[in-house]
Amino acid sequence: MKLIRFGVEGNERPGVQLDNGTRLDVSGFGGDYDEDFFGGTGIEDLKEWLASNEGSCPVITDDVRLGAPLRRPSKIICIGLNYAKHAEESGMAIPKEPVLFFKATSAIVGPNDDVVIPKGSAKTDWEVELAVVIGKKASYVSQENAMDHVAGYVLHNDYSERAFQLEREGQWVKGKSCDTFAPLGPFIATTDEIADPHSLNLWLKVNGEMLQNSNTSDFVFNIPESISYISQFMTLLPGDIISTGTPFGVGLGFNPPRYLKAGDVVELGIDGLGASRQEAKAFVD
| Per-residue 3-state assignment (H helix, E strand, C coil) for 29-54 | HCCCCCHHHHHCCHHHHHHHHHHHHH
Residue 171: the pLDDT is 87
Task: Please choose, from the candidates 49, 180, 158, the residue with its C-alpha nearest in 3D space to the C-alpha of residue 112.
Answer: 180
Q: Which residues pair with 134 in a beta bridge?
A: 150
Tell me how far apart the alpha carbons of residues 263 and 282 are, in angstroms, rounded to a whole number.
8
**CB 280 within 8 Å of CB 260:** yes
Tell me how far apart the alpha carbons of residues 127 and 69 are, in angstroms, rounded to a whole number.
19
Residue 87: the pLDDT is 77
Residue 170: the pLDDT is 84
Strands of the chain (E only): list them.
2-6, 13-17, 23-25, 59-60, 66-67, 76-80, 99-103, 108-109, 115-117, 124-125, 128-134, 150-157, 160-161, 182-183, 188-190, 201-206, 209-215, 241-243, 265-270, 274-282
Read off φ and ψ for residue 52, nearest 5 degrees.
Answer: -100, -15
Residues of the chain with pLDDT under 70: none
Residue 155: the pLDDT is 99
Which bin fits 55, alpha (ψ -120 to 50), beta or left (φ > 0)?
A: alpha
| N residues, the chain | 285
**CB 250 within 8 Å of CB 86:** yes
Q: State whether residue 274 is helix, strand or coil.
A: strand
DSSP tag of 173: H
Task: Please choose, from the candidates 242, 237, 275, the residue with its C-alpha nearest in 3D space to the C-alpha of residue 82.
Answer: 242
Task: Please choose, from the candidates 163, 145, 177, 169, the residue with its C-alpha nearest in 3D space to the C-alpha of residue 243.
Answer: 177
pLDDT tens for residues 144-164?
999 999 999 999 999 999 999
Residue 4: the pLDDT is 98
Which residues contact residue 27 at a Cβ distance below 8 angstroms, ignoring those fewer than 6 apart?
Answer: 13, 14, 15
Residue 205: the pLDDT is 98
**CB 39 within 8 Å of CB 137:** yes
Tell me how far apart the alpha carbons of residues 34 and 40 are, in angstroms, rounded to a whole number.
10
With b meaning 16 or more CB within 10 Å and e meaning fewer, what string describes 57-73?
Answer: beebeeebebbbbbbeb
Tell me how far apart the alpha carbons of residues 38 and 237 are, in angstroms, rounded to a whole number.
9
Tell me how far apart the alpha carbons of residues 85 and 230 are, in angstroms, rounded to a whole number.
23
Question: Which domains are present in the chain?
Answer: 2-66 (no CATH), 68-282 (3.90.850.10)
